[in-house]
Structure 1
Amino acid sequence: MTRYLLVPGRGRPLPGHWSRRWVEAYPHHRWAPEPPGPPYVADDRVAALEAAVSVADEPAILIAHSAGCLTVALWASRYAGPVRAALLVTPPHIDPEWKPGPGEADDVFIGEVPRDPLPFRSILVASRTDPYATFAQFRRYAEDWGAELYDAGDVGHLDSASGYGPWPEGERLVRELSED
């Protein structure tokens, strides 16, 4: 049986967010970790993902949104486990030189995002209107990680603020990864 581990972004998804809907609707979908909300501490998130992946030998499909995609890339650079595939939804572009200015949140990933190919099949969902990355930056992540690039169009950050809610196309992509 395949496990589905949802890797949250920086914040807590709102009740109507597609990821929350999936966890509530599908018995084999679990958080990895339960969305803790800010601050985003990369090492804590990676440790929680490792704990969730290594708890069983059954293969897992990782479903990551936003900063959760960075968690997956960091996890893959440090660990190996029974991961079959990953759906990487709108990862934010992080400039390794960025430092928070006065009044800016300092609870985001700071450092170098791993750019090595992921050791499992992955699909990166890119938006043409995401406020946290350009389409070219999504393309570069996909190339570096060896992911298939899926152009979702003008979908913002594919979150509740962008109107997602239900996301049937995401469910189709997960099914596609499950069938391999």
Structure 2
Amino acid sequence: MTRFLLVPGRGVPFPNHWSRQWARAHRDHTWAPEPPGPPYVAGERVAALHAAITAGDAPAVLIAHSAGCLTVALWAAEHTGPVAGALLVTPPEIDDMPRSPLPFRSIAVLSRNDPHATFAYGEQLAGQWGAEVHDAGRVGHLDSKSGFGPWPEGEKLVARLAAP
């Protein structure tokens, strides 16, 4: 059975954020780590993600938003484990973002008007990761401030990653 690990960004998602809604709606979606508050400490986040991934043998689909994409890329550069794929939603422009190919299937969800990254940056990063690009259009940072709440399109992308 596939496990779904929600990898938060640098802060605590608002209650109406799509990731919080998914965690409430799906019993098989758990936080890795439980959403902490700022500051973002990469080593702590990677350790918490590694603990969650290695807590079971079932493959995991990682669902990362914003700085959570950094956590996933850092984890993949240092560790291995049963990961079936990753949904990497609106990765921000960060100078120290790992750019090595990811050892699992991945989809990078990019926005045409993300205040934290240009679409061109996202395309380049996705290419370096070996990730499929999903052009979400003009969705801001795909967060509560941008009007996401429910995000059924994202759930379809996760289902694709979970399929054998």
- Shorter chain as normaliser: what TM range? over 0.9
What does 1:6-155 align with in structure 2 at a 5 Å threshold?
6-95=6-95, 112-155=96-139
- The one-letter amino acid paired with 1:153 is G
Who wins on radius of gyration, i.e. which is larger? 1
- The one-letter amino acid paired with 1:167 is W
Question: Whole-Å Cα distance in 2 between the matches of residues 24 and 69 of structure 1?
Answer: 21
Give me the TM-score of the superposition, normalised by structure 1.
0.90
Question: Whole-Å Cα distance in 2 between the matches of residues 127 and 176 of structure 1?
Answer: 20
Give me the TM-score of the superposition, normalised by structure 2.
0.99
Question: Whole-Å Cα distance in 1 between the matches of residues 81 and 92 of structure 2?
Answer: 25
Tell me the matched-pair count.
164
- The one-letter amino acid paired with 1:143 is G
Shift of 1:160: 0.1
Gaps of 5+ in 1: 96-111
Give identity over the alignment, percent.
Answer: 68
Q: Deviations over 1:76-129 (max 9, x none)?
A: 00000000000000010013xxxxxxxxxxxxxxxx221110000000000000
Shift of 1:63: 0.2
* Matched position secondary structure for 2:21: helix
- The one-letter amino acid paired with 2:48 is A
Shift of 1:74: 0.1
Measured on the aligned residues, the alpha-carbon RMSD in Å equals 0.5
Shift of 1:179: 1.2
- The one-letter amino acid paired with 2:100 is D
- The one-letter amino acid paired with 2:91 is P
* Matched position secondary structure for 1:150: strand
Gaps of 5+ in 2: none
